Amino acid sequence: MIRLIFLILVPTFFFHSFGQNINLKDISPFPIGTSVRIQPFLKDKKLVDLQKRHFNSITSGNDMKMYEIIKKEGVYYWDRIDTIVNYAKTNNQRMFGHNLIWHFSTPRWVRNKARENPAWLDKFLKEYITEYVSRYKGVIHGWDVVNEAFEASGGEYRKESIWYEIMGKEYIEKAFRYAHEVDPDAILFYNDFNIERDTSKLNSVLEMVSDFKKRGVPISGIGFQMHIRMDIPNEVIAYTLKKAADTGLQIHLSETDIIFNIHDDNKGGGVERYKELNEEMKLAQAKKYKDLVLMYRSIVPKEQQYGITFWGFNDRDTWIRRFFNMNDWPCLFDDNLNPKPAFYGFSQGLTSEL
Ligand code: XIL
């Protein structure tokens, strides 16, 4: 019992005294980002204050996806993006673009029209990317050009995508070429999930990347979404980061969070192994966050460290609860917007000697 109290209280005390005055962005050697949903976000002063204090990079959680931009043919809705871009400018933050092409955010009207007139889809791809990227040229620093083009596991190209269905895998390289043509300075990423745990999937992504490099397709980075679970082994994460970094491209941990329960990658739901978050779990999560940053810092060469972005920074608003309809505690801040041990673990990972 005494041992248990010691195990819990001492590190908790240590974390807290260590962390009183930390601003993540100021102690980090690379940009620290978070996604936000711009509308609820701006209404919540405490959230905005925290975001300004700790982050110097920002990604929109949903507002920049195709179904928000071009709800019907020929009409672009830029307002929300302009709001978030202004916020980024005013607060001196790097604006990251998520995302240009993703099967999941392609609106129904696009899918219908493409099936009626397959030749139209490539024209639309070019027009959409050209409009979008040129409008924010020099403002959006980097883009997830294509998101999740491979199946959840195993390394096949994703079949249930209108883009693949109509254009084959060529839609991917075309998207990169179109984006590069209008903004040659933007950093262009391929972004996906599970590549930190599924080596077959990672290998397929890396084959695509090396083919792109050979043929001069302008790809500049690989985004690891890094939606991980406590039991994804560090050794595997380290191995995959190393392989990706060996390409020489920028490496972005683009949607980081760490869950305890098991979610289903293909639909909502999952297995709620844990109903509550206890002290031991909090400390284990702090260690996992620390390990993750240490791996990123030690494996990815400095000039390839594009940064670490969180997919939201507090448990109250996490997408995991909404999207999978299950409980979890994946973030650095808790339901009351107070820093968790995870926050201090992450901070230590940023600063401790390698
Ligand atoms: C998620 C959002 O957070 C949810 O609000 C939305 O309902 C679905 O999309 N991978 C991605 C992100 O690339 O765009 C997803 O964001 C999370 C998984």
- If one counts the domains in the chain, the total is 1
Q: Which domain holds residue 217?
A: 2-351
Residue 235 among the catalytic residues? no
Atom 4 of ligand 1, residue of closest alpha carbon? 319
Task: For residue 46, report the distance from its CA to the centre of ligand 1, in Å.
Answer: 23
Residue 148 among the catalytic residues? yes
Q: Which of 103, 314, 323 is the pocket-test mutation for ligand 1 (most atoms within 8 Å of CB)?
A: 323
Nearest Cα residue to 286 out of 246, 342, 239: 342
pLDDT digit string, tens, across residues 202-246: 999 999 999 999 999 999 999 999 999 999 999 999 999 999 999
| CATH assignment of the domain containing 41 | 3.20.20.80
**Alpha-carbon gap, residue 38 to 22, rounded angstroms:** 25
Q: Which of 156, 255, 272, 279 is catalytic?
A: 255
Looking at ligand 1, which atom is closest to the CA of residue 35?
A: 3
Looking at ligand 1, which atom is closest to the CA of residue 144?
A: 13
pLDDT digit string, tens, across residues 290-323: 999 999 999 999 999 999 999 999 999 999 999 9
pLDDT digit string, tens, across residues 245-263: 999 999 999 999 999 999 8
Question: H-type helices in the chain, by residue range?
Answer: 2-19, 24-27, 38-42, 45-54, 66-69, 79-90, 108-116, 118-135, 162-167, 170-182, 199-214, 234-245, 279-299, 319-324, 341-351
pLDDT category at 270 given cuts 50, 70, 90 is confident
Residue tagged 């639909």 (tokens): 267
Percent of the chain at pLDDT above 90?
A: 92
Is residue 169 a contact partner of residue 157, using CB atoms and an 8 Å limit? yes
Q: Which residues line ligand 1 (CB under 6 A)?
A: 61-62, 147, 193, 225, 255, 319, 323
Give the number of other Cβ atoms within 10 Å of residue 25's Cβ.
Answer: 19
Atom 9 of ligand 1, residue of closest alpha carbon? 62
pLDDT digit string, tens, across residues 137-178: 999 999 999 999 999 999 999 999 999 999 999 999 999 999
